[in-house]
Amino acid sequence: MKVLEIYKIGGNCIDNEQVLDTFLNDFTGQAQSKILVHGGGVMAGQMANSLNIPVKMIDGRRITDRETLKIVTMVYAGWANKNIVAQLEKRGCRAMGLSGADGSTMVSVQRNPLPVDFGFVGDLTPEGINTDLINDLLRLGITPVFCAITCTKKGQLLNTNADTVAGVLASAMRKYFHVRLIFVFDKEGVLYPQTGEVIPLLSKKQYQVLKEQKIVTSGMLPKLDNAFAALEKGIEEVYVGKTKLQL
C-alpha cells in the first residue's frame, strides 16, 4: 500500500518566515503523496485585538463568536492558506488551497454548547471527509493544503482545531493509504522536563502522567490528545516532532 504523509504545522511555524521556508523546502522534497494542514498563527489574534474583539481560550482552544469566525476565516482560509500555496508553487510543488467548504471536503457539525459553549466551532469525523475527491487530487499529483475552517451541511462555516483536522483526515484516508501523521511545531518533539531533550518514544500512559503533573499544558493538550486518538483509530504511524507515539 502506498504511503501518505499528512503534516500539520503550527502557528509558530507560519509566523516565522525562516522556519516556514525550511519546512516547505523539506516538505516539497518528499516524493510520496502528502497533505498539509495548517492553523493561522498570531495574525488572527492580532487582528481581533486591533478591532477590540476579545480573544478567549480554554485549554488551548479558541472560543469563536460570530465576529471571531469572520476573522479566523479571513486569516486561515485567506492569507495563511494562499501564502503557503504560493510558496509551494514557487518550489515546484503543485498545491491547492482548500477549506472544508470547498468541494465539501470537510463537513462538520457545530459543537454542543454543553458543558462549554465554544461558539462557532466544528467537530469533525472521518465520515465527514470527502475522501474520493481528496484521493482524486492526490492521483493528479496535486498536494491539498487545508486550513482549519470546515462547513456544515447547512452552509455554516466553523472554526475547527487544526490538530483535529489533521487527525481526522489521517483516519479517513486510511482506506487508500498507509498513513503517516506528523505534527510539526516550534520544538523538536515532546521533551523530558528534567533535561529538555526529546523523548524518542512516548506511550499514552507516559502522556497521562505528564498531563496529570501539569507538565504538558495549553496548546500541547489538543495536539497530543488528537495524536493518540489517531493511533487508537488505527493510524499506522504518528509523530509529534521527532517523538514517535505508541499506545
Q: Tell me the CATH number at 76.
A: 3.40.1160.10
Find the mean pLDDT for residues 88-109.
98
pLDDT at residue 60, as a whole number: 62
- Count CA within 13 A, CB hemisphere, residue 88: 24
DSSP readout, 1-46? --EEEEEEE-HHHHH-HHHHHHHHHHHHT--SEEEEEE--TTHHHH
C-alpha grid cell, residue 220: 500541547
Alpha-carbon gap, residue 194 to 180, rounded angstroms:
29
Alpha-carbon gap, residue 131 to 123, rounded angstroms:
17
pTM: 0.91
C-alpha grid cell, residue 32: 510520496
Bridge partners (DSSP) of residue 211 are: none
Asked whether 169 and 130 are in contact (CB, 8 A), the reply is: no
Task: Please tell me which residue, 141 or 161, carries the higher pLDDT value.
Answer: 141
Question: What is the H or E stretch that residue 244 is in?
Answer: strand 243-246
Asked whether 110 and 121 are in contact (CB, 8 A), the reply is: yes
Amino acid residing at 213: Q
**How many structural domains compose the chain?**
1
Containing structural domain, residue 55: 3-246
Q: What is the pLDDT of residues 198-225, one digit of tens each?
A: 889 999 999 998 888 887 777 778 778 8
